[in-house]
Structure 1
Amino acid sequence: MEQQTAVLDRSAIRDDRIVPKGKDEIDALTGVRGAAAVIVIAYHSYPAADFPYGISHLVARGYLAVDIFFVLSGFVMALTYGSMFRNRVTLPSFFTFLMRRVARLYPLYITFLALRIAYSLAVYGSLQVPGGWFAMNLPMPVKDIIANIFMIQSWGVAKAVTTPTWSISTEWGAYFVFPFIVGGILFRRTAYAMLSLLAAATLIIAAGALTGYDGMHHNGALDAYDGRTFIPMLRCLGGFTFGLLTYRLYQWPPARRCAASGIGWAVLAYLMLGLLLHLPDQLIYPAFPLLVLCLACDRGALARVFSCKPLMQLGVLSYTIYVIHNVWIGLIHWLIKHLPSTMPTVVAQTMSAVFLIASLYAVGHVLHHWVEVPGRSIVRRLGDRTVAWLRPQAQPRALSRG
């Protein structure tokens, strides 16, 4: 376990940048994370019709950017933690992994949740406030709050207090599965990987099919977001498994050479063409793991595009702005509605977009450096101390892979 922990430390995600062991930062993957965050924010904040032709098609399917997050998450977990579970899953390694993920997700998450609870109670005296800015409107306040505190709301349990956190809850669920499947997917025979590929595809197809029967509004087959059903979890697990498989392919030198040869532009062209032609979500989906694979090779013009400094900065702050951006939507809609009465529509829309980007970046920067980073350090120290206490008591037998 000591050797595995050392590998983990050298392969850390330094300052939210994706860094494989013994290599430079994979700038393009940090950048694509920033691009995906921008697409999600645009999708939630503006009607797609407000954008020029082509871009409007991208924004209209902006919910699919979350699937890029899922695939990227699986890839990064395999890159960073896969070797910990190559042979077996022990209690110390399992706990170390989960505490590292808690350290990454929880400080900002719980701070923002606490602020919304405090605001709702202080201003309205209730957690059932329809239409109140920053306030909550929870159908079952006690159940919903408890589920959200433990990040299990989107396991078919409850409503997400802050809407975007449904995906964080599903990723938290995927982290519990990860240690028991990653060894087989990365290090066993090819047949095991092929079965995993079939399982991942089945999960994505099932999620897309089931949205037609859940009685909710969806902008596309994979627009599954309400954690009171189990469909979002299927969507996440499918994408996460695709990410693990993408990393296995990345480890194969012929695949890396092929991915670095310029086919990333073809993948991106297929993705944009699929959006323009309104192809079904399930047909567009294969572009996501292929794009991650190509950008992971970090070579060529496409990698340089996604490695530009603005996207890199957004990639570093992507988790923060993703969690908090939902509370900006009402204000942006108000600006879009009222500013055109005092200035040309194009100017009003440009000003609202600049305000959205600048304010989210500023607030995100503050929260990242004053909440996320110090909170992460505190949780990691607590986790390391607990693992140090667990290790001498750990039994030599491994936990079952199930």
Structure 2
Amino acid sequence: MKGWQNLAMPQPPAQDTIRDDHITATSKEEIGALTGIRGVAAVLVVIYHIYPFTDFPWGLRQIVARGYLSVDVFFVLSGFVMALNYGALFKTGFSSATFGTFMLRRLARLYPLYIVFLLLRIGYSLLAYGSLHVKNYWFAVDLSHPAASLFANMAMIQSWGIATAITNPTWSISVEWGAYFLFPFIIAAILYSRAWQAGLATGIGAGLVILVTWLTLHDGQGHNGPLDAYDGRTLVPMIRCLGGFTLGLATYRLYRWAPARRWAGSWLGWLVCLYLLAGILLHWGDLALYAAFPLLILSLACNQGRLGRLFAWGPIFQAGVLSYAIYVIHNPWIGLFYWARHTLPNYMPHWLAETLIATGLAVSILGAAIILHHFVEVPGRRLVRRLTIARTKTRTIEA
């Protein structure tokens, strides 16, 4: 119990940062496994969205069918990383200046690629069809209420119970953007409070996740599982995000406790991976699988052994670096996939067509992600950060 009490006022590393999508705990220590798990989760989401899970053999079929839970891994990981990088900003309490700096940094991370890809789809719809209400045409948008939908999507608030996301996967970006507004208050309850208060806040986070599984039974929407909540016209996706985000913050508090790091850095990671694999193959419920996600993040953050090196391995790590771009842009490839499946088998053997389609999807999505990451995402992030620095200097001079 003494160890928990020592967590009331954790001392984050002085140079916690995310540098060009590389998650680091200090200037010398890079948590490559956390970058890697982000890449694995992004790839699973892409496969889940594009390929019918029935296409895969036993084992892979069950993994792909639960691909929607990869988004929950993102939410837990995001809470952990936000605490790792920005928790110290609010150690002494809330201030509007600090909060503004935090939100601008997060805007720099999310918005450049998000808005460029959104504008590409809107521009294509207007140039090709002269309308924003275009049904069943590749890359075009279909907005029943264009003005309201455009405003909500451009402001990244569409999935706050307002509208559907124009680019479907960005519903999760919208709700995470909403979670950032609550970050200073949640982190005060999790990191800078007594152990019982942190425990209560953690329980509320877990309760929100459980609540989602009840709400999906009564919202009249189609779901592939109890936690498969994504329709931004309701508040259920926001609740889903806040639950995972809070549990990620709580995981960081545990990470700050030295005995927990020693315990998690040894055998725990392998045990968690085996638990998840067994749960997926044996069709355990979503909540049973979800319970392992905070432990997975904790173990990967602490593990310097083979498991950590596996998730930090070059291709997996690079997928993590590109994960945001891969996630944002992959949705239009669904239409291309079904077109190719309908067309190519007419001209070649089925096995060759499937091989070409899978290869083409992987190469084209990865190529587009690399281009947009290097020429949109990173430059845009630097531009917004320069504006942030200029804003800070101006405020300092005025003061």
* Alignment partner of 1:195 out of 178, 197, 200: 200
Q: What residue number does 1:133 align with?
A: 138
Following superposition, the deviation at residue 94 of structure 1 comes to 0.3
Counterpart CA distance in 1 for 2:253 and 2:355 is 43
In the alignment, does 2:353 pair up with 1:348? yes
* Alignment partner of 2:114 out of 109, 117, 124: 109
SS class of match (2:105): helix
Q: What residue number does 1:293 align with?
A: 298
In the alignment, does 2:245 pair up with 1:263? no
Following superposition, the deviation at residue 337 of structure 1 comes to 3.0
Following superposition, the deviation at residue 391 of structure 1 comes to 5.0
Q: Which moved more, 1:72-81 or 1:275-284?
A: 275-284
C-alpha distance after superposition, 1:316-348 (max 9, x if no partner):
000001000001111112222333344443332
Amino acid at match of 1:336: R
Q: What residue number does 2:20 align with?
A: 15
C-alpha distance after superposition, 1:155-190 (max 9, x if no partner):
001110000000000000000000122133113211
Counterpart CA distance in 1 for 2:206 and 2:98 is 29
Counterpart CA distance in 2 for 1:387 and 1:267 is 44
SS class of match (1:188): coil
C-alpha distance after superposition, 1:118-151 (max 9, x if no partner):
1101111111111010000112111000000100
Checking the alignment, whether the CA contact within 8 Å between 1:85 and 1:179 is kept in structure 2 is yes
Q: What residue number does 1:151 align with?
A: 156
Following superposition, the deviation at residue 385 of structure 1 comes to 1.9
Q: For residues 315 and 223 of structure 1, do their structure 2 counterparts lie closer, same or farther at Cα, with a shift above 3 Å needed?
A: same
Checking the alignment, whether the CA contact within 8 Å between 1:43 and 1:63 is kept in structure 2 is yes
Amino acid at match of 1:208: T
Q: For residues 196 and 23 of structure 1, do their structure 2 counterparts lie closer, same or farther at Cα, with a shift above 3 Å needed?
A: farther
SS class of match (2:140): coil
Q: What residue number does 1:3 align with?
A: none
Amino acid at match of 1:110: I
Q: What residue number does 1:28 align with?
A: 33
Q: What residue number does 1:59 align with?
A: 64
In the alignment, does 2:348 pair up with 1:337? no
Q: What residue number does 2:45 align with?
A: 40
* Alignment partner of 1:245 out of 240, 244, 250: 250
Counterpart CA distance in 1 for 2:14 and 2:257 is 24
The alignment yields a C-alpha RMSD, in angstroms, of 1.5
Counterpart CA distance in 2 for 1:301 and 1:350 is 32
Q: What residue number does 1:397 align with?
A: none
Mark the runs of 5 or more structure 2 residues left unpaired by the alignment: 1-11
SS class of match (2:393): helix
Q: What residue number does 1:69 align with?
A: 74
Q: What residue number does 2:9 align with?
A: none
Q: What residue number does 1:323 align with?
A: 328
Following superposition, the deviation at residue 9 of structure 1 comes to 8.8
* Alignment partner of 1:225 out of 222, 230, 251: 230
Counterpart CA distance in 2 for 1:304 and 1:346 is 35
Percentage of identical aligned residues: 56
Q: What residue number does 2:91 align with?
A: 86
C-alpha distance after superposition, 1:65-104 (max 9, x if no partner):
0000000000000000001101211111100000000000
Q: What residue number does 2:309 align with?
A: 304
Q: Which moved more, 1:121-130 or 1:18-27?
A: 18-27
Following superposition, the deviation at residue 237 of structure 1 comes to 0.3
* Count of residue pairs the alignment pairs up: 388
SS class of match (2:332): helix
Counterpart CA distance in 2 for 1:26 and 1:209 is 35
Following superposition, the deviation at residue 390 of structure 1 comes to 3.6
User: Runs of at least 4 residues of structure 1 off by over 6 A?
Assistant: none
Checking the alignment, whether the CA contact within 8 Å between 2:48 and 2:68 is kept in structure 1 is yes
SS class of match (1:350): helix
Q: Which moved more, 1:180-189 or 1:192-201?
A: 180-189
SS class of match (2:217): helix
Counterpart CA distance in 1 for 2:73 and 2:170 is 16
Checking the alignment, whether the CA contact within 8 Å between 1:134 and 1:327 is kept in structure 2 is yes
Mark the runs of 5 or more structure 1 residues left unpaired by the alignment: 1-6, 395-402
